[in-house]
Amino acid sequence: MNISVNVCGINFKNPIILASGTVGYGHELNSFFPINEMGGVALKAVTVAERAGNPPPRITEAKSSIINAIGLANKGLDYFESTIINEVSSIDTVRIANIAGESIDEYITICDRLNKHDAIHMYEINVSCPNVNAGGMVFGLDRGMLKALVKECKSVSKKPIIIKLHPDVFDIASIAKSCEDNGADALSLTNTIPSMEIDPIREIPKLYNNFGGLSGEAIRPIALRLVYLASQAVSIPIIGGGGITNTDDVIKFMLAGASLVSIGTLAITNPMKPYEILNELPAFLERKKVDDINEIIGRLKTY
């Protein structure tokens, strides 16, 4: 039984990636399970300058989901290079830097400076964070800016670039295609979905930021549609995710066209779960009489 997947020339032991922002820098989860065994880990977003993120409350619950407005809190690029890179280099899995910025120059600075670090295998260009005032999803929503950003990142990057797309767009297929045409090596979708929750007693939003990004089980049908539509439009690989909670969900995203899948909120609510899903995967495939997981990528039948 083969569950390894090759994406952009990089070998993933299995298709399960831990999603950015939900597992810190990955090694924090080692007390729950051997993180080395996962297919990859997308590290928490890095920005040029340190960011405190939004004031609390910055996470709240909704039905089968959470809404977060963390706001890309991180200690900045200097600290990432001096400390985080060393910490994550011992994790024996594919390590993906998640890159965010307020301008194209900031994205480029990060790609350029991380080029020299062998500990980072790929860049995930985050153009879809809903929780910042500048940058973030602005790039994902403006086609002209997105095109320029993808081009510039590609020209400076010495590692494959994954563009993490924004879900709240009118035509995901043409946005995905434009990323491919302008040099993206892979796509990732979906990020959290812009949303809001209100406290009816106190009569205020549940998040200080008013709005946040919805993630977890509730968004899976939306994410599946986006992955399917994008995969029909491009031939570059896709990392699919949003609301994965079990092995069935992994298979659903792969059938829809994802070569890799990402698990986020589930790792927050139950840190053991991604590892349990990984361990259940071979038996699940055997029951489906699949010898090689690559066989099911994009194999969805339609009526």
Ligand X SMILES: Cc1cc2nc3c(=O)[nH]c(=O)nc-3n(C[C@H](O)[C@H](O)[C@H](O)COP(=O)(O)O)c2cc1C
- Shortest Å distance, C-beta 267 to ligand X: 8
- Shortest Å distance, C-beta 197 to ligand X: 14
- Shortest Å distance, C-beta 191 to ligand X: 5
Respond yes or no on whether the N-terminal peptide bond of residue 274 is cis (omega within 30° of 0).
no
Nearer to ligand X by C-beta: 220 or 290? 220
Nearer to ligand X by C-beta: 138 or 295? 138
Nearer to ligand X by C-beta: 234 or 261? 261
- Please tell me the distance from the alpha carbon of residue 94 to that of residue 115, in angstroms, as a whole number: 15
- Shortest Å distance, C-beta 100 to ligand X: 7
Catalytic residue among 111, 129, 153, 179: 129
- Shortest Å distance, C-beta 127 to ligand X: 9
Nearer to ligand X by C-beta: 39 or 216? 216
129 is catalytic: yes
Nearer to ligand X by C-beta: 177 or 273? 273
Residue closest to ligand X, measured at CB: 21
- Please tell me the distance from the alpha carbon of residue 196 to that of residue 235, in angstroms, as a whole number: 35
Respond yes or no on whether the N-terminal peptide bond of residue 269 is cis (omega within 30° of 0).
no
- Shortest Å distance, C-beta 245 to ligand X: 8
What CA–CA distances, in Å, run from 223 to 188, 193, 301?
Answer: 11, 9, 18
Nearer to ligand X by C-beta: 178 or 195? 195
Binding residues for ligand X (CB under 6 A): 19-22, 44-45, 66, 68, 70, 72, 98, 126, 164, 191-192, 215-216, 219, 241-244, 263-266
Biggest alpha carbon–alpha carbon distance for the chain: 55
* Residues catalogued as catalytic: 129
